[in-house]
Structure 1
Amino acid sequence: MIYHGNRFTMKPGADPAAMEEALESLRNQGRAIPSVKSFVVGRDYGGEYEWGATFVIEDLEGYWEYLIHPAHRNTDRVGLPLVDKFVSFDITDDPDPEMGKKIAALHKRRYDSDPELTKLVSDLSEYTGSAAPGPHGG
């Protein structure tokens, strides 16, 4: 199993209705993407982030489905413009020592095929994690 997590903080002054739309879009990812086995979206406690989401996915094939699904793309479109700081991470019990590289390659493939997404992510003030292109085109 792969547990794909996101932690994020909204920009100061972000519109509450737009924030709720983005959070609901994250919840919809969990409901709409067939490869998501379970998920949680909510407040993040015990760190420097305000919100978090975790999606449980069985394998790399399902992970790719998750990454390119229209529900995920909608969250990028409505949510990323509101986000200040963002980190993504993956936890897996798969014994493959190359799993981290394989996950990063999926993210890179997605960014390489979607310049609009890459721009949205690059405009974040801080983004680390799963093959992040980095702030401001890094």
Structure 2
Amino acid sequence: MIVHGNRFTFKPGTTPEALDEALESLRNQGRSIPSVRSFVVGRDFGGEYEWGATFVIDDLDGYWEYLIHPSHRHTDRVGLPLVDTFASFDITDDDDPEMEQKIAALHQRRYDADAELTQLVSDLGEYTGSAAPGRHGK
């Protein structure tokens, strides 16, 4: 099982309507992507981020389905332009010693196939973690 998470802070001046649209789009990912077993979208307490989302997925095939699903792509388009700082992480109970590299490779494959997404991510004020472009599991 893989728990994929995102922590983020919106840019100053983000309207309440735009914030609501981005958060609802994240929730829609959880409802609409078949490989998502459960999800949480809400306030992030105890750190430097304001909001967070986690998605529980069975395996790498499901993770790929999650990454390329149209509802995820929609969230990228409506949400990323509003985000200032962003961090991603993955937690897994899989003992595969190459799991970190495999997850990073899925993200890199997605960036390589989507120039618009790559630009949206490049425009973020700060982006760290397992899904950051060029990370390759390092």
TM-score interval w.r.t. the shorter chain? over 0.9
Q: Distance in 2 between matches of 1:3 and 1:133?
A: 19
Please, which runs of 5 or more residues in structure 2 have no aligned partner?
none
The list of structure 1 runs, each at least 4 consecutive aligned residues, that deviate by more than 2 angstroms after superposition, is none
Secondary structure at 2:39's aligned position in 1? strand
Q: Distance in 2 between matches of 1:15 and 1:107?
A: 29
8 Å CA contact retained: 2:57, 2:63: yes
1:73 Cα deviation after fit:
0.3
Match of 2:26 in 1: 26
8 Å CA contact retained: 2:107, 2:133: no
Match of 1:62 in 2: 62
1:68 Cα deviation after fit:
0.1
Residue 85 of structure 1 pairs with residue 85 of structure 2? yes
Match of 1:16 in 2: 16
TM-score for the superposition, normalised by structure 1:
0.96
Q: Distance in 1 between matches of 2:131 and 2:53?
A: 18
8 Å CA contact retained: 2:42, 2:52: yes
Amino acid at match of 1:61: D
Q: Distance in 1 between matches of 2:129 and 2:115?
A: 18
Q: Deviations over 1:36-57 (max 9, x none)?
A: 0000000000000000000000
TM-score for the superposition, normalised by structure 2:
0.96
Cα–Cα, structure 1 residues 131 and 53, in superposed 2: closer, same or farther, change >3 Å?
A: closer
1:133 Cα deviation after fit:
2.2
Please, which runs of 5 or more residues in structure 1 have no aligned partner?
none
1:131 Cα deviation after fit:
3.9
8 Å CA contact retained: 1:84, 1:126: yes
Root mean square deviation, CA, Å: 0.8
Q: Distance in 2 between matches of 1:38 and 1:131?
A: 20
Match of 1:110 in 2: 110
Q: May I ask how many residue pairs the two structures share in their alignment? A: 134
Match of 2:96 in 1: 96
1:15 Cα deviation after fit:
1.1
Q: Distance in 2 between matches of 1:129 and 1:123?
A: 16
